[in-house]
Amino acid sequence: MRLPSLKYLRTFQIAGRLLSFKETASELSLTASAVSQQIKNLEIFLGIPLFVRGTRSLQLSDAGRNYHEFLDGMFSQLEDETQQLRTQFGRKIVRLCVPPFFASESLLPKLAGFHSVSPDTDIRVSTQPSTMKLHAPQTDVSVLLGRGEWPGLKSYKLFSRDVVTACSPALLKSSRVRRIEDLNGKVLIVHEGRVDAWEQWAAALGIAQPKPRKLIRFDSMSAVVRAAEQGLGFALVSWPLGRQWFSSGALQRVFDEVVATGENFYLAHRREDADNEQVRAITDWLLKRFRETAEKN
């Protein structure tokens, strides 16, 4: 008998747990429409509706509930067998998921030393935007940005995410921006995932929001920093995460103010993985390295 796609089954298993295509999409790094289409394809294959769809609600049908209970057990057993196989016959692997800018600026410079501590453990690093505050199911350890709001995870605060106003040295010299009011009429660079960042920055300082001549939007902090470096405009850059850009002279702080965003970077893993040897090793090692970095600064 022909079987349905394992990808569709996994999507249905997560959607049946969350009862939200939007949240399922976030967990799987897909769009909500892609999740909806995969569920629809599975229902067509089975010839059975798996969900009862309301205007603002999503519930499992009777058939969907029975199938979901079976799949939950099947995937749990599959994960257990896979883990046993890896432990018995394979190399040890720890899977990290981090925001791209955090990876390039903070994680990668530290990872080289982990080999000497745990030479038999392979490391797989993937990235997801910092605006996605989910611990992906295929991940062992994540770096998440938020306020510690993950009840199913064990989290460890690394450092706070603040922002500073930045631009290239050449632009700062030519624009003659000296006061915050001087940003009016200038080009501002915006992170697509934080379109209200300038508004929040102004509110934290108790001032009126700058009125730019033009906005340039980018979908990552790395692109925001690169654009500022190229002199395209003024940007809000993560601090202290972007410290090296200022130390190297590629960027210059426009004002002295360091503005708190209220968010922090956390190292996180599932609570049930606390005794996993690889998870414990990479977690302990990274926490030690971040403490050493904080003491130096």
Domain with CATH 3.40.190.290 in the chain: 91-297
Tell which phi-psi region holds residue 257, choosing left (phi > 0), alpha (psi between -120 and 50) or beta. beta
Confidence label for 119 from pLDDT (cuts 50, 70 and 90):
confident
What per-residue confidence (pLDDT) applies to 234? 97
What is the arithmetic mean of pLDDT over 276-293? 89
What is the arithmetic mean of pLDDT over 244-253? 96
**Cα gap 269→102, rounded to integer Å:** 17
What per-residue confidence (pLDDT) applies to 51? 95
- pLDDT (tens digit per residue) in 161-193: 999 999 999 999 999 899 999 999 999 999 988
**Cα gap 208→26, rounded to integer Å:** 34
Which is higher by pLDDT, 158 or 80? 158
- pLDDT (tens digit per residue) in 52-67: 998 888 999 999 999 9
Residue 13 has pLDDT above 90, yes or no: yes
**Cα gap 231→252, rounded to integer Å:** 11
What are the backbone dihedrals phi and psi of residue 163, each rounded to the nearest 5 degrees, phi first? -135, 150
Beta carbons of 199 and 209 less than 8 angstroms apart = yes
Confidence label for 287 from pLDDT (cuts 50, 70 and 90):
very high
Q: What value does the mean pLDDT of the chain take?
A: 90
**Domain 91-297 -> CATH class:** alpha beta
Burial string for 11-40 (b: 16+ CB within 10 Å, else e) reads bbbbbbeeebbebbbbbbbbeeeebbebbe
Domain with CATH 1.10.10.10 in the chain: 6-87
> Which DSSP state fits 193?
G
- In this structure, which topology does domain 6-87 adopt according to CATH? Arc Repressor Mutant, subunit A (1.10.10)
What per-residue confidence (pLDDT) applies to 242? 94
pTM, to two decimals? 0.69
- pLDDT (tens digit per residue) in 222-238: 999 999 999 999 999 99
**Cα gap 20→164, rounded to integer Å:** 37
What value, to the nearest 5°, has the Cα angle with vertex 284 and ends 281 and 290?
135
Residue 80 has pLDDT above 80, yes or no: no
**Cα gap 240→105, rounded to integer Å:** 10
